[in-house]
Amino acid sequence: MLNIICSTVKLKDIDAPLLVLLLPEDTKQLMGQVLELDELLEKNVTKAFSTEGFRGKLYTSFLISTLNKIKPDYLLIAGLGSRDDTSTESFRIASGEAALRASNLGVRRYAIYIDQSLTELDLQKVTEAIVEGAELALYTYSRYKSQPEKKSIEELILVTDQSDKIPQLEAAAKSAQKVCEGVKLARDLANAPSSDMTPTIFAEEVKKMAEKMGLECTVLGLEEIRQLGMNGILNVSRGSREEPKVVILRYRGGKADDKPIVLVGKGVTFDSGGISIKASEKMEDMKYDKSGAAAVIAAIQTAANLRLPQNVVAIAPLVENLPSGAAYKPGDVIRHYGGKTSEVISTDAEGRLILADVLAYAVDKEKPQAIIDLATLTGACVVALGSQASGLFGNDQALIEKVKKAAEASGERVWQLPLWKEYYDQIKSEIADMKNSGGRSGGAITAAAFLSNFVGTTPWVHLDIAGTAYTAEDGTKVKTYTPKGATGVGVRLLVNLLKDWGSTSS
């Protein structure tokens, strides 16, 4: 984590080799210290906005050599995009852009000026976004590099004009770093190859974290899973030598009698598709099929770090889905926890089978006020929404609206899709209560419809993160703060949801 200092030092006197200004598109009128800098630097700040390829657009930046006219060696202007569309996400993206440029310059520290005259957005939220953008952009996964890249940046200075705002900036920065710690944990878990992140190892990593944090952690092994009748998990794991696990992580931040909020995350540590095997191209990306589990575990860690006043439980079913002589097969019928049955049409529709068991378990054992599940569930969702939004489904519109609000605050977009009764016809089975695949048509929706059969009347939201869990190579814009690999999507959304739960719940 960066060492973050909050300061009121004059911009021209900042003791850092790089000073960053975050300015909106087509800025024409400069004020205060920025105007002073422009005059000291021979109007080069103003000239930047007439430079083709910059003009203050989001995802762009302009570097100025100060030629010893001010203390910093360089001034970087990172664009915020249209002034009318400026949001906390704009600051997050611009800060990520600045962090990457700072890293490329090889500086040890840099400063960002937080100009409150630019926006009516809440100062704390803007500061949190700036810190998140920097921390997450500088994330690297170098565990397997024989010579890891040396991180040059150690310190970030946040500069404000108002000394009375320093405590607010410091609190916001501290909070944001705790959130980033969670996102980085989720990225680490998801980025790890399946050889070193089996269900057993994943569970052990969670137990270590829980012991360190003082959280309650229960790990269900093969025999316990069998005794509970979690046959979806048992069947999916049959083809692998790796035994399945179910991790239950509990944070008690609310009152003793408060019902918990349950977070469920799909944890397929590697998904070959099983007997219904996937194409070999990009199969290496199937290590990311544990991203849902990684997100809910990291969200609990973050809730504990922030001491949020909620009772929260994360449940993560962990399996490998591989073909072998012992693997489950198309045509098999599975009796899930609670008694409902499903016919296996495709062994590559395994995520819904393991989630079904733990969703039913959560309803039965936890009696939660709400369930939110995250899963890299369907390629169909990627076809529908690409890499720019997660699919959102649910049975309770009030809960759905809360999730939408949290998504907006975090910059982790969601898009609601329907669960009309006609879609349920696609998963009707002749021999079981339902089948695990409804065909290609509306695949993300029929998968969500399948899951809905296991939550009863409990308020429930399903997020299909198949397109957002790791950076895509589909030609779309990749956010500056999401380096190649796992994005940690869902962590910040869930944390925002939990933060606002008390103020928005009925």
**Per-residue DSSP letters for 423-456?**
HHHTT--SSSSEES---STTHHHHHHHHHHTTST
d(C-alpha 92, C-alpha 80), whole Å:
9
> Is 95 within a domain?
yes
> Is 173 within a domain?
no
- Three-class SS of residue 386? coil
Q: Kindly report the CATH number assigned to the domain that includes residue 273.
A: 3.40.630.10
Asked whether residue 320 falls in the same domain as residue 458, the answer is yes
**Per-residue DSSP letters for 458-497?**
S-EEEEE-TTTSB---SSSPPPTT--SSB--TTHHHHHHH
Backbone torsions φ then ψ of 262, nearest 5 degrees: -105, 130
Asked whether residue 205 falls in the same domain as residue 68, the answer is no
> Is 495 within a domain?
yes
| Eight-state DSSP code of residue 278 | P
Asked whether residue 145 falls in the same domain as residue 246, the answer is no
Residue 1: which of 127, 174, 121, 242 has the closest Cα?
174
Query: Pseudo-torsion of CA 465, 470, 471, 475, nearest 10°?
Result: -40
Asked whether residue 150 falls in the same domain as residue 188, the answer is no
Asked whether residue 434 falls in the same domain as residue 370, the answer is yes
The whole-model pTM stands at 0.97
Asked whether residue 143 falls in the same domain as residue 207, the answer is no
pLDDT of res. 477: 78
Domain boundary among 133, 162, 191: 162
Phi-psi region of 87 (alpha: psi -120 to 50; beta: other; left: phi over 0): beta
> Is 174 within a domain?
no
Q: Kindly report the CATH number assigned to the domain that includes residue 128.
A: 3.40.220.10
Alpha carbon 478 to its chain centroid, in Å, reads: 14
Block means of pLDDT (10 residues each) for the chain, 506 residues, are: 98 98 93 97 96 94 98 99 96 98 97 92 97 98 86 94 96 99 99 98 99 98 99 99 99 98 99 98 97 99 98 99 99 99 99 99 99 99 97 99 98 98 98 98 98 99 98 83 97 98 58
> Is 109 within a domain?
yes
Residue 407: which of 492, 338, 470 has the closest Cα?
492
463 forms bridges with which residues in the sheet?
A: 374, 392
Q: State the total domains in the chain.
A: 2
pLDDT of res. 504: 44
Asked whether residue 206 falls in the same domain as residue 321, the answer is yes
> Is 279 within a domain?
yes
> Is 25 within a domain?
yes
CA angle (72 as vertex; 8, 155 as ends), nearest 5:
65
d(C-alpha 321, C-alpha 234), whole Å:
11
Q: Each residue of 162-175: b (16+ CB within 10 Å) or e? A: eeebeebbeebbeb
Measure CA of the first residue to CA of the last residue in the chain; give whole Å. Answer: 37
Asked whether residue 470 falls in the same domain as residue 378, the answer is yes
Asked whether residue 272 falls in the same domain as residue 324, the answer is yes
Asked whether residue 337 falls in the same domain as residue 465, the answer is yes
Asked whether residue 103 falls in the same domain as residue 129, the answer is yes
Asked whether residue 210 falls in the same domain as residue 266, the answer is yes
3-state secondary structure 125-154: HHHHHHHHHHHHHCCCCCCCCCCCCCCCCC
> Is 338 within a domain?
yes
Domain extent, residue 236, equals 180-504
For the annotated catalytic residues, the residue numbers are 278, 352
Which residues 6+ apart lie within 8 Å of 402 measured at CB?
497, 500, 501, 504, 505
Specify whether the CB–CB gap between 438 and 427 falls below 8 A: yes
